[in-house]
Amino acid sequence: IGWTLHLHDVVDSTNSEALRLLGQGIEAPFVVLSERQTGGRGRRGRAWISPAGQNLYYSLGITIHNGPHQLAGMSLVIGLAVRDALHRLGVPDVGLKWPNDVYASGRKIAGILLELTGDPAGECHVVIGIGINCNMSAANSAIDQPWTSLRNELGKGIDRNQLLLVLSESLRGYLHRHEVEGFASLRLEWEANHIWHGLVASLSAGDREIVGEILGVDADGCLRLLVDGSERTFSGGELRLRLR
């Protein structure tokens, strides 16, 4: 596929390492992989538990030439690419939770963290960090939400080299489509894979809790909620299902 691989036994975070490489002027695209992370980072300042040898800790560094166009909806498109890769590896029921959590059979199987350096209005770099639970043992109780792994879903261990290849191919394909056609052409595919489409959920954004019916996403990937009879859009926050 032609991307340089930077392989590590241990790093603080593959995203941090990718950001350092960009800072040193290393040319993108490249991928940083590590067997474990001592300071794995999740969204919203959370830690990403990263034991050795059991999962995939992957960061892809890319160059963006046309910021505003290419960044709109990008984090959702990455979700689609990860979903597609897991689906192609045989995971039966993979879906997305806005903005980019990847779920299998109702439990989280992968997480995505995008970080940007440079000028988002023009040329910049994005580090696309992806953590996929592969063979993590059930004994891992430090994780604060229901989770699953490829081994759970497939009933057998998986070859992480194969996962690396399938994931990279998927990312390349979706990123290319996104760059050429924009998020508009992927919006319906994203909505079709949203596990909570049409359900009532609560969104916590900052110190607010907003309850509404999930209508979908807009052309920039913002969440559309029906709140008290009118449609509102949100660019960030955390969704929870609301039981009626």
Active site residues: 43, 108, 242
User: Which helix (H) or strand (E) is 14 found in, with range?
Assistant: helix 14-23
CB 20 within 8 Å of CB 45: no
**Taking the complex as a whole, how short is the minimal distance between the CB of residue 151 and ligand BTN, in angstroms?**
18
d(CA 95, CA 242): 18
Position with the least CB separation from ligand BTN: 111
Half-sphere exposure of 6 (CA within 13 A, CB side): 23
Cβ distance to ligand BTN smaller for residue 112 or 201: 112
* Nearer CB in complex with ligand BTN: 73/111: 111
- Measured in degrees and rounded to the nearest 5, phi and psi for residue 32 equal -110, 130
Shortest CB 159 distance to ligand BTN, Å: 19
Rounded to the nearest 5 percent, the helix, strand and coil shares of the chain are 30, 35, 35
Shortest CB 36 distance to ligand BTN, Å? 10
Q: In terms of CB distance, is 46 or 69 closer to ligand BTN?
A: 46
Cis amide linkage into residue 120, ω under 30° from 0:
no
Write down the least CB distance from residue 47 to ligand BTN, Å.
Answer: 9
Pair of tokens at residue 155: 């009933």
Q: Please, which residue, 145 or 230, has the CB nearer to ligand BTN?
A: 145
Binding residues for ligand BTN (CB under 6 A) = 13-15, 37, 40-43, 46, 48, 57-59, 101, 111-113, 129-131
